[in-house]
Structure 1
């Protein structure tokens, strides 16, 4: 039997290694991690962007200002507008490690079944179909579940309309995301004396004639694009269009209908024309809703 003995260790075996632990490692395998706060303050929440499915995020290509960081924090800044079906809040989304990329958005939240008033006429929903027959039955019975479905339906309808209109190149706020009955979208603003403010409704402004004429051209172009796509806003007025400087922006789209599929599609289009033309006439522009309606119908078919 042969005896074995341990070999002598080199003299520098126990010396500290002066080399960096990353020396000789491919940089593509090296990751750095940013630490984020364990707790959030009042009125704050973590962004759910990374948790949402693709169809719940805005259409691509997305504007550069959209914050997609998984470490971003949403901070509520206050209420912007109250309505019969929904309230709109201002929300800031910021990654604490990239404060210069923070963005303020509008958060439209449809009310729950205890606070929401269902004044929307059934005529808006004609031609629409729910994915599940039990939802249709619940809606007709006006059950508790039916009301929940209805609350979600309006949010989903507005989300779909915003995405479709944005893809058509229409002047609407960019839709960032939808999460249950909350829609995050672009905050439309104007600059006043160096300060950023919410763009006023068209009904609140008295612009110069050149701007009024430009607004009408923009309106006609937008309505033309809509009818060519077979769509009608359905509730268009100076109160749901914004005057963003020299740009007209259309908002509030949950009741958008199919021009042909809805039995009252053309009636809604004529009403949209009448509502808007009345404002333009009040600002000194000679326009006629019947003439505008006829022009739009010529583009529709």
Structure 2
């Protein structure tokens, strides 16, 4: 029976080679190493992970530009590419809540009734509206939207897949259509058949949310994207608990009335109060 030569024997190889692929020494402006490896597991998207998601440690995030500006947050397009497998790349939406000095959380108090933060120190800072409290608020709103996105995804609702949450930044699926960002429902003028289809999808969203004891809280044609025949609901930081927030019923009513008004304006007669009563009956 033969044995491989001992490393110290004359027959042993004196050197060896291996193949490797060098990574970039320096990143370009607007790039960073993927933050996926450093994000806590609970702040990563629910399993099963979608096939398009890039989770490689050697991936690079590249800024592609601003997608949408807002009072509380800005949304950017961000490409994540695996340097070892350049064909593996995905474009995502990066929602970043603003720094304290550039932010205005309008109507925040009415949405956050019934919520609390983990540390009493942070809660006191929020109550005093100190500079630290405003910093906590940004992170809390990001975490609130992250939790709402995950919950809605797990309920089977048409929302962007939540990729990860890191501080005040949420990465999520970019909803596209025909090579660009899917348009908002507000600007659409569909034919009767598609209008009815979209209404049934919106109605199902309201029913499912209410059945889980939730209301979107700010649902309007501006917070609904359309990708062909499919609708996708976005902007979820203010999702409220129907049992925990004393104003939740009014938020739910407003959601129903806002959506009913838009469909009626496009030729599909929808009574907002009737829709509200119907949805409320399915709550819990």
TM-score category (smaller protein): over 0.9
Q: Distance in 2 between matches of 1:126 and 1:231?
A: 14
Q: Distance in 1 between matches of 2:209 and 2:23?
A: 45
Normalized against structure 1, the TM-score is what? 0.88
Q: Distance in 1 between matches of 2:139 and 2:147?
A: 12
Q: Distance in 2 between matches of 1:273 and 1:180?
A: 32
Instruction: Give the CA deviation at 1:125.
Output: 0.4
Q: Distance in 2 between matches of 1:142 and 1:180?
A: 19
Could you list the per-position Cα deviations for residues 57-93 of structure 1 after superposition, in whole angstroms to 9, with x for gaps in the alignment? Answer: 0111111101000000000000010000000000000
Mean Cα deviation higher: 174-183 or 115-124: 115-124
Q: 1:32 to 1:250 in 2, by over 3 A?
A: farther
Instruction: Tell me, yes or no, if structure 1 residue 203 matches structure 2 residue 180.
Output: no
Q: Distance in 2 between matches of 1:120 and 1:300?
A: 24
1:189 to 167, 176, 179: 176
Name 2:266's counterpart in structure 1.
Answer: 283
Q: How does 1:155-174 map to 2 (within 5 A)?
A: 155-174=142-161
What root-mean-square deviation, in Å, do the aligned CA atoms of Structure 1 and Structure 2 show? Answer: 1.8
Q: Is the radius of gyration larger for structure 1 or structure 2? A: 1
Instruction: Tell me, yes or no, if structure 1 residue 134 matches structure 2 residue 134.
Output: no
Q: Distance in 2 between matches of 1:286 and 1:32?
A: 67
DSSP-derived class of the 1:87 partner: strand
Q: 1:298 to 1:42 in 2, by over 3 A?
A: same
Name 2:51's counterpart in structure 1.
Answer: 64
Instruction: Give the CA deviation at 1:121.
Output: 3.3
Instruction: Give the CA deviation at 1:51.
Output: 1.1
Q: Distance in 1 between matches of 2:213 and 2:12?
A: 75
Instruction: Tell me, yes or no, if structure 1 residue 219 matches structure 2 residue 206.
Output: no
Instruction: Give the CA deviation at 1:222.
Output: 1.0
Instruction: Give the CA deviation at 1:35.
Output: 2.3
Q: 1:289 to 1:70 in 2, by over 3 A?
A: same
Normalized against structure 2, the TM-score is what? 0.93
Name 1:49's counterpart in structure 2.
Answer: 36
Instruction: Give the CA deviation at 1:119.
Output: 1.3
DSSP-derived class of the 1:114 partner: helix
Name 2:109's counterpart in structure 1.
Answer: 122
Instruction: Give the CA deviation at 1:17.
Output: 5.2
Name 1:77's counterpart in structure 2.
Answer: 64
Instruction: Give the CA deviation at 1:32.
Output: 6.6
Q: Give the paired residue count.
A: 276
1:260 to 243, 252, 265: 243
Q: 1:277 to 1:97 in 2, by over 3 A?
A: same
Q: Distance in 1 between matches of 2:170 and 2:108?
A: 22
Mean Cα deviation higher: 240-249 or 96-105: 96-105
Q: Distance in 1 between matches of 2:19 and 2:262?
A: 57
Point out where structure 1 has 5 or more consecutive residues left out of the alignment. 1-12, 23-30
Q: Distance in 1 between matches of 2:13 and 2:48?
A: 50
DSSP-derived class of the 2:102 partner: coil
Name 1:7's counterpart in structure 2.
Answer: none
Q: Distance in 1 between matches of 2:39 and 2:169?
A: 13
Instruction: Tell me, yes or no, if structure 1 residue 273 matches structure 2 residue 244.
Output: no
Point out where structure 2 has 5 or more consecutive residues left out of the alignment. 1-8
